[in-house]
Amino acid sequence: MKLTQRTLGRTGHAVTFIGFGALEIGRDWGLGGETDRVKPAEETAGAVLNGVLDLGVNLIDTASAYHFSEERIGRHVAGRRGEYVLTSKCGEHTGPNETCYYDFGYEAIRNSIDRSLALLRTDRIDVMQIHFGPEPEQVLDDGETVQAMLEAKETGKVSFLGASPPTHLIRRCIDLGVFDVLQVAYSLVDREAEADIALAADKGIGILIRSGFGGGLLTPRVLKRPDLLPRVQPYLDLLGGDAEQLPALALHFLKRNAGISSVLVGTKSVEHLKANIAAAEAPFDEGLVEAALHVGQ
């Protein structure tokens, strides 16, 4: 199957509409019990990464805070580097014993980028993004993070700069004029960033979507959370109660937005990713998408 591709803003990179979020292959994460949250074994992680590329997905998004993610990408698919656009993040760092900490100082960012390059076994990261923490405004006010990133771009260590800001900071990131890509939280159940996505697209900024399934609300997993069901019940009613169609509804809502370059799907299962690709690529009743837009209005 030839996957839908879109241009990642002014970077010029053609990326698949479904991208791979590499958090869960390197760090314990996710909903469910303790077993469900555990990162895969090394061999399994390698199989997942190669499986992602075998499906035709050509965007891998990682971060220095994703524990073993960068290292595993470098170990298992550095030999296929020409097959994917690589995006990573700096600012939140992996510490000893799989802990994490924030440091947005100039030296910390410069060292983090160098470490990412070494772990990823590449001489260039396509997009380096700021991984904002608890005081995101301060990061931009201080300017040291952006300074270190700009120098990395000037020396060829990274090709383009990006940021993964909280929604209230998107407009400031746009106005700053240095970011080529923004990673934003946006979904059918959280449309706050809609106007900012349109503005960014108008300025040639590529948009990556995180939390496109509303943190799991727009997946069958919501059925296991009676406390959350009221938020999605109107969408379930539109789908005749079929929770298996929620991901398709979520993806086709995003797909109709021309300003969105790629939707990051975080998973440690190739089959899960394959199912999302199928949902995005298959025809879907646009009338249902249109009706979903007016839920709650």
* Kind of pairing between the strands at 92-94 and 100-102: antiparallel
pLDDT tens figures, 35-65: 667 898 999 999 999 999 999 999 999 999 9
Mean pLDDT of 15-23: 97
* Inter-residue contact 91 to 131 (CB < 8 Å): yes
Q: What CA–CA distance (Å, rounded) separates 105 from 66?
A: 19
Q: Does residue 34 carry a pLDDT above 90?
A: no
Q: What is the 8-class DSSP label of residue 1? A: -
- Chain-wide mean pLDDT for the chain? 95
pLDDT at residue 223 tops 70: yes
Q: What is the DSSP string of 157-221?
A: SEEEEEEE--GGGHHHHHHH---SEEEEE-BTTB-TTHHHHHHHHHTT-EEEEESTTGGGTTSGG
Can you tell me the distance from the alpha carbon of 103 to that of 90, in angstroms, rounded to the nearest whole number?
9
Superfamily of domain 5-214+257-269: NADP-dependent oxidoreductase domain (3.20.20.100)
CB proximity list for 12: less than 8 A, separation 6 or greater? none
Span 76-107, pLDDT tens digits: 999 999 999 999 999 999 888 888 999 999 99
Confidence (pLDDT) at 97 = 80
Task: State mean pLDDT over 195-211.
Answer: 98
pLDDT of residue 32: 56
Phi and psi angles of residue 209, each rounded to the nearest 5 degrees, phi first: -105, 125
Three-state secondary-structure class, residue 95 = coil
- Give the pLDDT of residue 30: 66
Q: What local confidence, expressed as pLDDT, does residue 26 receive?
A: 93
Q: Is the pLDDT of residue 125 over 90?
A: yes
Q: Does the pLDDT value for residue 31 go beyond 90?
A: no
Per-state percent for the chain, helix, strand, coil, to nearest 5: 45, 20, 35
Percentage of the chain modeled with pLDDT above 70: 97
How far apart CA 112 and CA 165 sit, in angstroms, is: 19
Report pLDDT for 96. Answer: 82
Chain segment 139-196, per-residue pLDDT in tens: 999 999 999 999 999 999 999 999 999 999 999 999 999 999 999 999 999 999 999 9
3 in Cβ contact with 277 (< 8 Å): yes
DSSP symbol at 241: T
C-alpha closest to that of 252 among 17, 32, 91: 17
Closest CA to 234 of 198, 281, 184, 188: 188
Statement: residue 207 has pLDDT above 70: yes
Rg (C-alpha) for the chain, rounded Å, is 19
Residue 35: what pLDDT?
64
Mean pLDDT of 232-239: 96
On the question of pLDDT at 264 being above 90, the answer is yes
Domain ranges across the chain: 5-214+257-269
Average pLDDT over residues 205-219: 96
